[in-house]
Amino acid sequence: QPQGITHELRRMNRYGVLAAYLPAFGNVVGQMQYDLFHVYTVDEHTLRVIRNLRRFAVPEHHHEFPRCSQIVQALPKIELLYLAGLFHDIAKGRGGDHSRLGASDAEAFCRDHYLGRFDTQLVAWLVEHHLVMSRTAQREDTSDPEVINNFANLAGDQIRLNYLYLLTVADIRATNPTLWTSWKETLLAELYTATKRALRRGLEHPLDARERIRGVSVMARALLKSRQVQDQLVNAIWGEFSDEYFLRHKADEIAWHTQLIADHGTSDEPLIAVRQEGPRGGTEIFIYTLDTHRLFAQTTSLLEQLGLTVVDARIITSRSGHTLDSYVVLDGSGAPIEASYRLEEIRAWLRRGLGEPNQAPQPVARRAPRHLQYFPLPTRVEFSTDINAERTVVELLAADRPGLLSSIGQAFSNCGVRVQNAKIGTFGNRAEDVFYITDEANLPITDSERLEALRSELLRAIEPEGGDTTDQAG
Residue-wise pLDDT tens digits, 358-393:
666 666 655 555 555 555 678 999 999 998 888 999
Q: At what angle do helices 145-155 and 158-173 cross, to 10 degrees?
A: 100
Residue closest to 392 by CA, chosen among 345, 428, 441, 346 = 441
Asked if pLDDT for residue 468 goes beyond 50, the answer is: no
Instruction: Tell me how far the alpha carbon of residue 456 is from its chain's centroid.
Output: 26
pLDDT score for 373 = 57
pLDDT score for 467 = 45
pLDDT score for 364 = 61
- Read off the pLDDT of each residue in 213-238 and give the average, rounded to a whole number: 96
Q: Give 119's contacts (C-beta < 8 A, 6+ positions apart).
A: 77, 80, 110
Rounded distance, CA 347 to CA 69, Å? 38
pLDDT score for 473 = 38
Is residue 391 within 8 A of residue 442, CB to CB? The reply is no
First-to-last alpha carbon distance for the chain, in angstroms, is: 47
Q: How many CA atoms lie within 13 A of 207 on its CB side?
A: 27
pLDDT score for 335 = 86
pLDDT score for 470 = 43
Q: Give 73's contacts (C-beta < 8 A, 6+ positions apart).
A: 57
Among the ranges 148-162, 198-212, 329-343, 427-441, which has the highest mean pLDDT value? 148-162
- Read off the pLDDT of each residue in 54-82 and give the average, rounded to a whole number: 95
Rounded distance, CA 117 to CA 403, Å? 52
E-only strand ranges, 234-281: 271-275
Percent of the chain surpassing pLDDT 70: 91
Neighbours of 236 (CB within 10 A): 12
The structural domains of the chain, with segments of one domain joined by +, span 5-201, 208-264, 265-462
* Neighbour order of strands in the sheet with 392-399: 271-275, 283-290, 322-330, 309-317, 418-427, 430-438, 392-399, 380-385
Rounded distance, CA 1 to CA 16, Å? 19
Rounded distance, CA 309 to CA 270, Å? 22
Rounded distance, CA 307 to CA 346, Å? 11
- Which strand (E) or helix (H) includes residue 439? none
Provide the mean pLDDT of the chain: 89
pLDDT score for 393 = 95
Radius of gyration of the chain from Cα atoms?
A: 24
- Read off the pLDDT of each residue in 26-36 and give the average, rounded to a whole number: 80
Query: Per CATH, the architecture of 5-201 is what?
Result: Orthogonal Bundle (1.10)
- Read off the pLDDT of each residue in 272-278 and give the average, rounded to a whole number: 86
Residue closest to 285 by CA, chosen among 275, 295, 300 = 275
**Between 330 and 357, residue with greater pLDDT:** 330
Among the ranges 36-40, 180-184, 218-222, 339-343, which has the highest mean pLDDT value? 218-222
Residue closest to 156 by CA, chosen among 191, 99, 204, 190 = 204
- Read off the pLDDT of each residue in 401-426 and give the average, rounded to a whole number: 90
Rounded distance, CA 425 to CA 140, Å? 12
CATH 3.40.50.2020 fits 265-462, yes or no: no
- For the stretch 419-456, pLDDT in tens is 999 999 877 678 889 999 999 888 999 999 999 999 99
Asked if pLDDT for residue 471 goes beyond 90, the answer is: no
